[in-house]
């Protein structure tokens, strides 16, 4: 089978499409014939060497945190799935993978899968797995957004941002989206009540907010200062400075800057599917790339300035 791998850490051009043996599912695992996988920040960090402590220096290493596809085989003890079922899911983000979601086949634990929403194509489904579950965990579980609250989504045009705008709107929040001006019409259509241009808007010109969801990871202390007395803030844009700001904010109690490690299981994926089925969440895709052009998909993700996700179509 074909799989996207790299033999050394670096820029997107280290990615190679290699021919490797097809994996077989062990007990409790499912083999999925992958139809699509998206590019996520985790993929870029691993590829560039930002998680060497976890991924190590044994190569090759595969990329692709999420996937959508069809069950090809099941291991012993797996119930609830059979060959031909359409599923979506993720590989474990804290494990080293020789091959991962950006491959023709992937093996994962059965509790990392769920049925794919019937109304989505594989490309659409793959675009929502990580972005959607991250936004849902952030808003529902981390900051517990309530109806009527004012919420700021910073980095609103990205994969997590576009999902967060939609979910915050469906949860009854008054949504301010911070993004490029040229994306205002799209974000408004997704449910944003206001769109402010990030290039000309400073933190002290907006708010205050009951909830802030940050996907950027910079100037966190400035935006935390725009919280109401009972406000909550969460960031998914992690970096060295961001981690320092998170640690320093602990003195502020409930108004601290929160973060989390999204690691969705079957229950979370089913919850996400319910939001899709209800019409509260729909895919936003900027580009679709064939498996052979996986490096171009990573490059497009890193350039930024787009709306939504970069998706790798494995099986057309």
pLDDT, position 242 = 75
32 with 139, same domain: the answer is no
Task: Examine residue 60 and say whether the peptide bond preceding it is cis (omega within 30 degrees of 0).
Answer: yes
Query: DSSP states of 156-187 as a string?
Result: TTSHHHHHHHHHHHHTT-EEEEEE-GGGHHHH
Average pLDDT value for residue range 27-44: 96
In a domain, 79, yes or no: yes
Q: How far is CA 260 from CA 71, 166, 235, in A?
A: 30, 20, 8
pLDDT, position 237 = 82
In a domain, 267, yes or no: no
Which CATH number fits the domain that encloses residue 7? 3.90.180.10
Looking at 242, 258, 274, the residue that finishes a domain is: 258
217 with 287, same domain: the answer is no
How many separate domains does the chain show? 2
pLDDT at residue 117 is higher than 70: yes
pLDDT at residue 260 is higher than 70: yes
Q: 8: domain range?
A: 2-120+283-313
Beta-bridge partner residues of 211: 151, 232
Q: How far apart are CA 271 and CA 289, in angstroms?
A: 28
155 with 246, same domain: the answer is yes
Beta-bridge partner residues of 38: 311
Closest by CA to 195, choosing from 165, 237, 160, 225, is 165
95 with 197, same domain: the answer is no
Query: DSSP states of 245-256 as a string?
Result: HHHHGGGGGGGS
In a domain, 272, yes or no: no
pLDDT, position 239 = 66
74 with 138, same domain: the answer is no
Q: pLDDT of 202-216, one tens digit each?
A: 999 999 999 999 999
Q: How confident is the model at residue 234 (pLDDT cuts 50, 70, 90)?
A: very high
Q: What is the mean pLDDT of the chain?
A: 94
In a domain, 23, yes or no: yes
Average pLDDT value for residue range 74-100: 94
Q: How confident is the model at residue 263 (pLDDT cuts 50, 70, 90)?
A: confident
Please report, rounded to a whole number, the percentage of residues in the chain having pLDDT higher than 70.
Answer: 99
Residue listed under structure tokens 């634990």: 109
Please report, rounded to a whole number, the percentage of residues in the chain having pLDDT higher than 90.
Answer: 85
Closest by CA to 161, choosing from 129, 138, 137, 131, is 131
104 with 141, same domain: the answer is no
161-175, 203-217, 242-256, 279-293: least confident range = 242-256
Q: pLDDT of 38-76, one tens digit each?
A: 999 999 999 999 878 777 889 999 999 999 999 999 999
pLDDT, position 316 = 57
In a domain, 270, yes or no: no
Q: How far apart are CA 266 and CA 272, in angstroms?
A: 10
In a domain, 276, yes or no: no
188 with 110, same domain: the answer is no
């Amino acid at each position: 089978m074909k799989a996207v791998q790299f033999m050394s850490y670096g820029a997107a051009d280290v990615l190679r499409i290699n021919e490797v043996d097809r994996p077989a599912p062990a007990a409790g695992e499912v083999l999925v014939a992958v139809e699509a996988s998206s590019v996520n920040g985790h993929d870029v960090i691993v590829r560039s060497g930002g998680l060497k402590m976890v991924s190590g220096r044994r190569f090759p290493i595969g990329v692709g945190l999420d996937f959508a596809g069809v069950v090809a085989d099941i291991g012993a003890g797996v119930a609830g799935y059979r060959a031909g079922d359409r599923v979506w899911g993720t590989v474990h983000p804290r494990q080293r993978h020789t091959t991962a979601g950006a491959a023709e086949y992937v093996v994962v634990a059965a509790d990392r899968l769920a049925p794919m929403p019937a109304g989505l194509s594989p490309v659409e489904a793959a675009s929502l797995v990580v972005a959607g579950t991250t936004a849902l965990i952030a808003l529902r579980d981390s900051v517990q957004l309530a109806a009527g609250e004012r919420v700021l989504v910073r980095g609103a045009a990205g994969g997590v941002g576009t999902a967060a705008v939609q979910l915050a709107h469906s949860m009854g929040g008054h949504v301010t989206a911070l993004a490029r001006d040229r994306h205002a019409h799209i974000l408004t259509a997704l449910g944003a009540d206001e769109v402010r241009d990030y290039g000309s808007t400073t933190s002290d010109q907006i708010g205050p907010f009951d909830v802030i969801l940050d996907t950027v990871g910079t100037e966190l202390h400035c935006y935390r200062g725009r919280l109401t007395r009972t406000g909550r803030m969460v960031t998914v844009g992690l970096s060295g400075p961001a981690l320092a700001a998170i640690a320093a904010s602990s003195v502020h109690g409930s108004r601290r800057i929160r973060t989390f490690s999204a690691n969705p299981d079957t229950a979370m994926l089913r919850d996400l599917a319910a939001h899709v089925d209800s019409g509260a969440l729909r895919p936003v895709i900027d580009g679709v790339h064939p498996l052979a052009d996986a490096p171009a998909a990573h490059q497009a993700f890193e350039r930024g300035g787009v709306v939504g996700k970069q998706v790798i179509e494995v099986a057309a």
